[in-house]
Amino acid sequence: MTAENRHDRHTFAVIGAGINGTAVAREITRRFPDATVTIFEKSDRVAAHQSGHNSGVVHAGLYYEPGSLKARLCRRGVHLLHDYARSNQLPFEECGKIVVALTPEEEERLHDIHERAVANGVPDVELIGPDRIREIEPNSVGRLALHSPHTAITDYAAIARSFAEDVEAAGGTIHLNAEVVDMNVQAHGCTITSERGIDRHVETFDFAIACAGLQSDRVAKMAGGATHPTIVPFFGQYSRLAPEHRTILNGLVYPVPDPAYPFLGVHLTKRVDGEMLVGPNAFLSFGRENYSGRKIGIKDSLTVAADPAFWKFAAGNMKAAVREFAAVVSRKKFLAGAAEYVPSLKGAVSKPIPRGIRAQAMDADGGLVDDFVIEQQDRATLIRNAPSPGATSSMAIAEHIVDVVTNTHDLLPSSPESTPKDD
């Protein structure tokens, strides 16, 4: 081990000030207190993209393949996030969740989900019948449900902002309105070019970690990363129910996921501000950052259209896509789906809120990448895929990434106290 690696006076660049970028930067400052940490964010604020456009659900780990990175980091992330929110007076409510089966076929799939949840160590999950469903959620109906009493809700944008404050308090720097436009990755460092207004800055760091969300494939290409996975953006449209429906549920009500379409389906979500949301539908977004739905991203749309992998995916998901599109164009149909689980919502009034956009990674064969993907390119570490439960897992993802960098490059913290320990 070289003398260089025996101390923590390294320089780190983190690309992206969403919840994963700020969590990674914070973890670096904890692990290497003498390091210089700089975050680059192209927007004018922290959590401007995925981290600020989501329902706020803290996932318990019900659906993920046992042993996968998703499953392991989700469970660890829940624990870390809970403790962090409580310690920093941030919202965190264990409101609970039921996943409801309406048909015999869905009941069979629900049993499989229950087996996964148990294998993943999700606490206190159980299968419940109609009477117990009504006891937990008096306005909900179903043949069978999976109850996850510790599924929670939070405010991920607030948590990301708190992480950013921790980074700055530890001496780190956050450059807003600073878009990374080029990277040169070598065996001994990374040169990053950023644009800040009319100025262009070129800076060299010992290590770079890209947490670029919707732009993760483009940033990875700058660093010399693999062509795939590429990002295909899918928007999720939520609607806010009228005030009289705010207390219609005690927690969250989800459908059993459709295996023919890789999303969770329209569900009902309580939010920490007291609002009740219904959604999301899931459909191709014409623009990676088209949150309003009114501005088509020409470059993004052409990129998707030119990718043969997307057309392979589309061909295999046409039936589900037609169903989702019907809900996109008709809010009445959209709400009717939710009313199957909560009949008193029939005829309810709702108002759309800004969309969330899922940065979904797609492989060269048109398959949607399920697990988290992290790629190493010499001194650059690239998050290539971190969709839901990416926010839930953010603090655990940060631990994992800093472990990867530490182990790959034989780094040591300056003192035992700076190494995080399990609680």
In 3D space, the residue among 128, 95, 123, 133 whose CA is nearest the CA of residue 111 turns out to be 128
Q: What is the reported pLDDT for 331?
A: 59
Q: Per-residue pLDDT for 420 more than 60?
A: no
Q: What is the pTM of this model?
A: 0.90
Q: What is the reported pLDDT for 288?
A: 83
Query: pLDDT tens digits, residue range 216-263?
Result: 999 999 999 998 899 988 887 788 999 999 999 999 999 998 776 656
Query: pLDDT tens digits, residue range 12-22?
Result: 999 999 999 99
Q: Which two tokens stand for residue 150?
A: 């510790």
Query: pLDDT tens digits, residue range 313-364?
Result: 766 665 555 455 445 544 567 788 888 999 999 888 888 888 788 888 989 8
Torsion region of 196: left, alpha or beta (phi above 0 gives left; psi -120 to 50 gives alpha): beta
Q: What is the domain class of 231-362 according to CATH?
A: alpha beta
179-186, strands of its sheet edge to edge: 179-186, 189-196, 199-205
Q: Do domains 8-50+157-229+371-414 and 231-362 have the same CATH topology?
A: no
Mean pLDDT taken over the chain: 88
Q: Which two tokens stand for residue 228?
A: 């795939």
Q: Per-residue pLDDT for 159 more than 80?
A: yes
CA distance 115 to 42: 42
CATH number assigned to the domain with residue range 8-50+157-229+371-414, chosen from the 4 options 3.50.50.60, 3.40.640.10, 3.30.70.20, 3.40.50.11540? 3.50.50.60
Domain ranges of the chain: 8-50+157-229+371-414, 231-362
